[in-house]
Chains A and B, each alone.
Chain A
Amino acid sequence: MYGIFMECFVLLRRYFGSDADGELMAYLRIAIFIISAIYIIAKEKDAVKKILFGIMPLVILAGFLLPITRKLYVAQVDKENPVTYYRILWLIPIYIVIAYAACMLLMRLKGDAVRRAVTVAIVLVIMLTGKCVYVNAEMHRIKVENPYHIPQDVIDICDMITPAVGEENPWAVFPEELAWFVRQYDAHILMPYGADYIEQNYPNQVHKVLKEVEIVDGVEIVDAEELMNAVRDDGGRFDGRRYVIMPEDTETRRLSEDLTTFGLELIDKVGHYNVYKDPIEVGDSDE
């Protein structure tokens, strides 16, 4: 039981940012929230507001930490994905509690100048103990180049390989950094691996070849022959055209051989990606 309680407590601290900003900051944020709730309990005269934004948030917080709640959640609510347990904390109106407690404090102050100074101080406390969403690394991972908010290279490549009306859907291998976005732009393009394979590490031969590279003198070398075997083995199950999109060779990563030596046609270059088409029918390649 103590172990489950500690698990819940770790989740709580993570929710308040122990993983990003350290334990101290997480405890500080938890303290701000709890002090706000206690302040509402102590000073609010309206029983309903006192219960809703003082007592209830603390009861939910206590309930979250109870091992029995965690056990019930895992057994009855989300067995497949117990990591979602932290979402119980969403039921606590944390932002309303803190903002309302702060306003209650301001209401009790006498004199406009004092009130203004305390308002600024509260805003500064929130800013200094919080973390601005706009500095999150994921905010800056994609450059805004178009209204789709998808890398322009993906759009250009998809426009190039998308099927005409009546044609079979094409099958295309994209490098990992582009694979996330392809089907967010064009649902006609089939892929050997996608976001779930990247995140969950599901087995796929093409992805495996691209991931498990040989490193020679600090340079990652993708085995082109193995890649082409995987491409024709996996992609051969589909009737449409096959494409392979590979980044140009760089000083840190390159293909062991040029893919054109395996019969692929380099049809275009988009940004620093080469777009290859495989003209060989799988039947032919088997022969």
Chain B
Amino acid sequence: MLMVAWSVVRLIYWMLVVPYLIGQLFNFILPEEKKTLGTTFILGLLVYLALFEVIAIPCMIHFTYYAFTHCRRMYVIVVSLLAIAGAFKFDKTVFKLKLPLGGKTETKIYCGIFVALVLFQMVMSLVYAPFNGDDADYVANSVAAQQMDVMNTVNPNLGGNVNLDVRHALAVITMWIAFIAKVSSVHAAIVSHVVMPLFVIPIVYYVYYLIGKILFNEKKDFLPVFLILLNVLMIFGDMSLLISPPATFFLMRSWQGKALFCNLVLPMVFWVFLMMFDDVSKSGEISGNKEMLKITAPLWGMLTLVNMFSGICTELGVAFECVLVAVLTLILLFKSKRWTVLVGAFMSLIPNLIYIIIWWKMGGRA
């Protein structure tokens, strides 16, 4: 029992505390009104995952033996240093929860329903064990990393050594799950099937909450209704048998990269762009390019991290992300009439371009 409790503490530490502390280190880039507990955590999580990608991919390519140990040690050192530095920047003001809701009882009831629906989905992820054939690849790769100290160089279906599977290797989310499993001494199958849904479901709805906050800027009473409808759409979104819509991925395979991509990464892209559009509408109040850059640069930085997150989830996601960012940037260009947004978008896509080059170099073919 004590061992289980100790593992839970370590899970909380590595999945919540460390990303939060890293977020605290970097949240100086956020404007004062956006420095909330949740946004700081999201920023930290994005940095935390981007660092994993930057460390894991070279380790996977370079080391033949003990690749996972090398990766894990380097990652622990880097994120620990950042977390310690973040701890020194502790800011208790972000813990003052400011719910942007009106005081109406009805709104509070809707909020309660929303929270209950999210909790319901989290509980159901424990009660049910949805079967999916892809787990024989994804979860088996995480288990192999944890138990055999390899990074995608063992055949997940049969065992035995193989060359790097280029189609899946660069999407290192399975290795991140193995990392969490190893440092918490929890089996990677438990982290995938139980811990990840509990981690992912609230984060996805938090991102939708952030989107809703911008959409319902002046009519905040409708925000909980919007969130309730999203919950119902997710729970009743399992439409197709053969080609899964995001809702099916979300509630049946929350731990897989594809699920994270279509349910977390893509809404994050919309959230970041909505913030950019919001800033454009306020730009009349800002004078000078330097002032403007101070406001826009952090958001392009956030977008860069989101773009890196897409590569962690799925190789295909990198291509999709480039298309979506290009389309949204054109709309931003139309709205802002500032050509510098093209520079920002290009800079944010540089990690994706590097990723695609690595993929080609490794023998990936479209």
Query: A residues touching B (Cβ–Cβ < 8 Å)?
Result: 11, 14-21, 26, 29, 47-49, 51-52, 56, 60, 75-80, 83-84, 86-91, 93-96, 98-100, 102-103, 106-107, 112, 119, 122-123, 126-127, 129-136, 138-144, 147-150, 169, 180-181, 183-199
CB within 8 A of B133: which of A21, A26, A180, A187? Answer: A180
Contact with A along B332-360 (1 / 0, CB 8 A): 00010000000000000000000000000
Contact with A along B129-148 (1 / 0, CB 8 A): 11111011101100110111
Q: Determine the residue in chain B with the shortest Cβ distance to A189.
A: B159
- Contact: A90 with B246, CB < 8 Å? yes
CB within 8 A of A132: which of B129, B190, B236? Answer: B236
- Contact: A79 with B366, CB < 8 Å? yes
- Contact: B248 with A187, CB < 8 Å? no
Q: Which residues of B contact A143 (CB under 8 A)?
A: 129
Please tell me if B327 contacts chain A, counting CB pairs below 8 Å. yes
Please tell me if B6 contacts chain A, counting CB pairs below 8 Å. no
- Contact: B229 with A99, CB < 8 Å? yes
- Contact: B233 with A126, CB < 8 Å? yes
Q: Which residues of A contact B106 (CB under 8 A)?
A: 112
Please tell me if B245 contacts chain A, counting CB pairs below 8 Å. yes
- Contact: B247 with A16, CB < 8 Å? no
A-B contact count (CB 8 A): 243
Q: Which residues of B contact A93 (CB under 8 A)?
A: 266-267, 270
Q: Which residues of B contact A181 (CB under 8 A)?
A: 136
Please tell me if B252 contacts chain A, counting CB pairs below 8 Å. yes
- Contact: A130 with B237, CB < 8 Å? yes
Please tell me if B84 contacts chain A, counting CB pairs below 8 Å. no
How many angstroms between the C-alpha atoms of A246 and B167 in the bound complex?
34
Q: Which residues of A contact B131 (CB under 8 A)?
A: 138-139, 141-142, 180
Please tell me if B16 contacts chain A, counting CB pairs below 8 Å. no
A interface: dominant SS? helix
Would you give 7 A-B contacts (Cβ < 8 Å), ordered by A? A127-B232, A131-B236, A138-B252, A144-B127, A148-B193, A196-B157, A197-B157
Query: B residues touching A (Cβ–Cβ < 8 Å)?
Result: 106, 124, 126-133, 135-137, 139-140, 143-144, 146-148, 154-160, 167, 187, 189-190, 193-194, 208, 211, 215-216, 219, 222, 225-226, 228-230, 232-243, 245-248, 251-252, 261-262, 266-267, 270, 273-274, 277, 281, 316, 319-320, 323-324, 327-328, 331, 335, 365-366
B interface: dominant SS? helix
How many angstroms between the C-alpha atoms of A78 and B154 in the bound complex?
24
Q: Which residues of A contact B281 (CB under 8 A)?
A: 48
How many angstroms between the C-alpha atoms of A47 and B143 in the bound complex?
49
- Contact: A107 with B240, CB < 8 Å? no
Q: Which residues of B contact A80 (CB under 8 A)?
A: 167, 365-366
Q: Determine the residue in chain B with the shortest Cβ distance to A145.
A: B129
- Contact: B238 with A133, CB < 8 Å? yes
With A95-B230, A96-B230, A112-B106 already in contact, the answer to whether A15 and B143 are too (CB < 8 A) is no
With A131-B238, A185-B189, A190-B158 already in contact, the answer to whether A98 and B144 are too (CB < 8 A) is no
